[in-house]
């Protein structure tokens, strides 16, 4: 590829962060080089901490103050080196020639301005448009990114829009000035599968139509296949492999790339354990691919039965008025002992409310939750205590569900104390150590605080906390959704091992169909608070009966089709 066709060339980019005065600066990006040709999409793939976002922010000159870019680094944009560009020069480039879409649309939009004003600001700033002219262009842009009724929606505030629409607004802002390079930093990670699919199609379409280049950053190789022309795989600040998308998917060279491709659960097969990165880096690269069979039979003993569960929230309206918002409508299902029930739906479908209500973390409006024949919803608070430990929950966000002011030891011992498990402190501590080992954490973890752990490790702590109470039913509320695909595979394997070992029954709530398909025996699809379809997992994926289920299934990123057939 010759110089003429390059929009950006990164040479020996080396970024370090000063942590404090004493220690050596932490090297986040260790001398990487790659090119972004004109009119192409380059995907930058890696786990959290691989340095992919840092590289992107370095291009925009948006690194925090404690970052040091080594003098030998070059980011060549045309004839200019962006690492040495002065601030006014960078400001002229940012948003006009190089623009960016961030992961969280809700936090990236200013809540006190209408979306029209925010898109218009970019136009007035960079294109020198007047008020009226900008307004017309904003409507045009909003139309282009697929926001219905743009004339009306121009005057909406960000909170009046859904997550997907907010991301569309962000995209409209990013393409407003016809940038030459669009940087998309995990633009779909915070969105539901169906929305993710729409946004990916939109971005790909825009890239083609506007003939711009795109740097697409993601931790999920799966989403890259559809839209990227070439792929750069990063790990720990170095590039492990780069090449055209076809080569990466069809004949990955580096074990790390192979691992990333393999660790995402797939719809067409279900190995006993998901391959993890260590299998490829340390092992022989041939993970155990024996298949696991899933499914339920009518004879399975039932541990939990939910009958006509209803939950309605009330919103205050005006001074005395109340508005009923039904979140769960007449939901009934049975959970067989030792099996996994998958609960799939988009955000707002009521799947989390089901989980919280049957644990009585919310009060149900009506219905029954029969646990071994007793209705949990009818028990008094004291009677409930005995059952509380037997149904446990693992939350979505491992950063929020552990008390930051407690050591891991304290977190693990506390529930045992509350439920008088173990005869004395000594025994409880011993048990905590055994559980730490069981979930794959070092014994020193006992003395550490949650902030010292990564997301996957924290989720292991949350799992260990549930296990201290020897529960029968475990509700996993989007428990792996916030994790990188590679870490997600490890946690899923752990959950599977624990089910095999202790005979736990899971209610697995997720918006990710591939994950649900992998782990569940039976799948329940929810939409708007009602159950759309319920069937054994293989059945529902092979022969979906309902339109909504089919729509969900078609939104799953296909990765590289060829890769699915190979291996």
User: Using CB under 8 A as the criterion, which residues of the chain lie in contact with other proteins when the complex forms?
Assistant: 20-21, 356, 359, 361, 385, 388-389, 392-393, 395-397, 400-407, 409-410, 413-415, 418-419, 425-426, 428-430, 433, 442-444, 446-452, 462, 465, 469
Helix (H, G, I), strand (E, B) or coil at 143: helix
Residue 431 Cβ, how far from other proteins at the closest point, in Å? 11
Cβ-based neighbours of 76, under 8 Å, separated by 6 or more:
6, 8, 9, 10, 11, 82
Residue 400 Cβ, how far from other proteins at the closest point, in Å? 4
In the bound state with other proteins, the residue whose beta carbon lies nearer, of 327 and 393, is 393
Residue 201 Cβ, how far from other proteins at the closest point, in Å? 33
Locate the DSSP E strands across 186-301: 213-218, 230-235, 238-244
Q: Which two tokens stand for residue 220?
A: 């999920």
Place of tokens 């623009």: 99
Residue 189 Cβ, how far from other proteins at the closest point, in Å? 19
In the bound state with other proteins, the residue whose beta carbon lies nearer, of 77 and 395, is 395
CA terminus-to-terminus distance, the chain:
31
Rounded CA gap, 195 and 201, in Å? 10
b/e 494-521 (16+ beta carbons within 10 angstroms → b): bbbebbeeeebbbbbbbbbbbbbbbbbb
In the bound state with other proteins, the residue whose beta carbon lies nearer, of 288 and 403, is 403
Around Cβ 554, how many Cβ atoms within 10 Å? 12
Sheet hosting strand 321-336, strand order edge to edge? 321-336, 302-317, 366-371, 374-375
Residue 440 Cβ, how far from other proteins at the closest point, in Å? 17
187 burial level (CB within 10 Å; 0-12, 13-18, 19+): buried
Residue 444 Cβ, how far from other proteins at the closest point, in Å? 5
In the bound state with other proteins, the residue whose beta carbon lies nearer, of 219 and 389, is 389
CB-CB contact of 554 with 198 (8 Å): no
Residue 262, phi then psi, degrees to nearest 5? -90, -25
In the bound state with other proteins, the residue whose beta carbon lies nearer, of 26 and 178, is 26
CB-CB contact of 82 with 59 (8 Å): yes
Residue 317 Cβ, how far from other proteins at the closest point, in Å? 18
Residue 410 Cβ, how far from other proteins at the closest point, in Å? 6
In the bound state with other proteins, the residue whose beta carbon lies nearer, of 278 and 430, is 430
DSSP state letter for 201? H
Our measurement of the distance from residue 368's CA atom to the centroid of its chain's CA atoms, rounded to an integer in Å, reads 33
Residue 479 Cβ, how far from other proteins at the closest point, in Å? 12
Q: CA nearest 349: which of 510, 519, 561?
A: 510
Q: CA nearest 47: which of 258, 235, 276?
A: 235
Distances (CA, A) of 238 to 30, 68, 77, 192, 525: 6, 17, 22, 30, 41
CB-CB contact of 517 with 523 (8 Å): yes
Helices (H), 455-525: 455-467, 485-502, 513-519
Residue 359 Cβ, how far from other proteins at the closest point, in Å? 6
In the bound state with other proteins, the residue whose beta carbon lies nearer, of 442 and 562, is 442
Residue 483 Cβ, how far from other proteins at the closest point, in Å? 15
In the bound state with other proteins, the residue whose beta carbon lies nearer, of 291 and 381, is 381
Q: Which two tokens stand for residue 555?
A: 């939104």
Rounded CA gap, 497 and 263, in Å? 16
In the bound state with other proteins, the residue whose beta carbon lies nearer, of 157 and 449, is 449
CB-CB contact of 138 with 76 (8 Å): no
Residue 218 Cβ, how far from other proteins at the closest point, in Å? 24
């Amino acid at each position: 590829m010759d110089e003429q066709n390059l929009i950006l060339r990164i040479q020996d980019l080396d970024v370090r962060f000063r942590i404090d005065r004493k220690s050596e600066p932490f090297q986040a990006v260790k001398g990487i080089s790659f090119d972004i040709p004109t009119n192409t999409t380059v995907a930058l793939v890696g786990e959290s901490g691989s340095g992919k976002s840092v590289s992107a922010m370095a291009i925009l000159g948006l690194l925090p103050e404690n970052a040091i870019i080594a003098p030998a680094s070059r980011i060549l944009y045309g004839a200019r080196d962006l690492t040495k560009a002065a601030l006014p020069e960078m400001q002229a480039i940012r948003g006009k020639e190089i623009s960016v879409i961030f992961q969280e649309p809700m936090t990236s939009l200013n809540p006190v301005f209408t979306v029209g004003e925010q898109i218009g600001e970019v136009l007035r700033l960079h294109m020198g448009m007047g008020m009226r002219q900008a307004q017309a262009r904003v409507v045009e842009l909003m139309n282009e990114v697929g926001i219905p009724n743009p004339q009306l929606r121009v005057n909406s505030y960000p909170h009046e829009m859904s997550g997907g629409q907010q991301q569309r607004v962000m995209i409209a802002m990013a393409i407003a000035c016809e940038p030459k390079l669009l940087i998309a930093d995990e633009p779909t990670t915070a969105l539901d599968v169906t929305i993710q699919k729409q946004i990916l199609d939109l971005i790909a379409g825009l890239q083609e139509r506007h003939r711009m280049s795109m740097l697409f950053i993601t931790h999920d190789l799966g989403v890259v296949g559809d839209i990227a022309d070439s792929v750069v795989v990063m790990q720990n600040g170095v590039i492990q492999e780069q090449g055209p998308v076809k080569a990466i998917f069809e004949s990955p060279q580096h074990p790390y790339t192979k691992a990333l491709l393999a660790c995402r659960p797939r719809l067409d097969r279900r190995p006993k354990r998901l391959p993890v990165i260590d299998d490829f880096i340390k092992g022989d690269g041939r993970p155990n691919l024996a298949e696991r069979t899933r499914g339920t039979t009518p004879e399975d003993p039932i541990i939990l039965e939910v009958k006509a569960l209803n939950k309605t929230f009330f919103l205050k309206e005006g001074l005395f008025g109340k508005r009923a918002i039904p979140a769960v409508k007449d939901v009934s299902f049975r959970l067989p002992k030792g099996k996994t029930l998958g609960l799939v739906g988009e955000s707002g479908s009521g799947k989390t409310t089901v989980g919280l209500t049957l644990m009585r973390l919310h009060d149900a409006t009506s219905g029954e939750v029969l646990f071994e024949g007793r209705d949990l919803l009818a028990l008094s608070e004291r009677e409930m205590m005995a059952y509380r430990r037997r149904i446990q929950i693992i939350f979505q966000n491992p950063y929020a569900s552990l008390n930051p002011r407690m050591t891991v030891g304290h977190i693990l011992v506390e529930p045992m104390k509350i439920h008088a498990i173990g005869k004395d402190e000594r025994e409880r501590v011993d048990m905590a150590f055994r559980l730490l080992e069981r979930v794959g954490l070092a014994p020193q973890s006992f003395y550490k605080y949650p902030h010292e752990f990564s997301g996957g490790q924290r989720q292991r702590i949350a799992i260990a906390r549930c296990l201290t109470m020897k529960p029968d039913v475990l509700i996993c509320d989007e428990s792996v959704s916030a994790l990188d695909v590679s870490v997600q595979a490890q946690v899923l394997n752990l959950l599977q091992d624990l089910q095999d070992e202790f005979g736990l029954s899971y209610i697995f709530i997720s918006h990710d169909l591939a994950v649900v398909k992998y782990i569940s025996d039976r799948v329940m699809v929810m939409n708007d608070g009602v159950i759309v379809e319920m069937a054994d997992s293989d059945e529902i994926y092979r022969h979906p009966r309902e339109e909504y289920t089919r729509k969900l299934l078609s939104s799953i990123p296909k990765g590289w089709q060829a890769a699915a057939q190979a291996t």
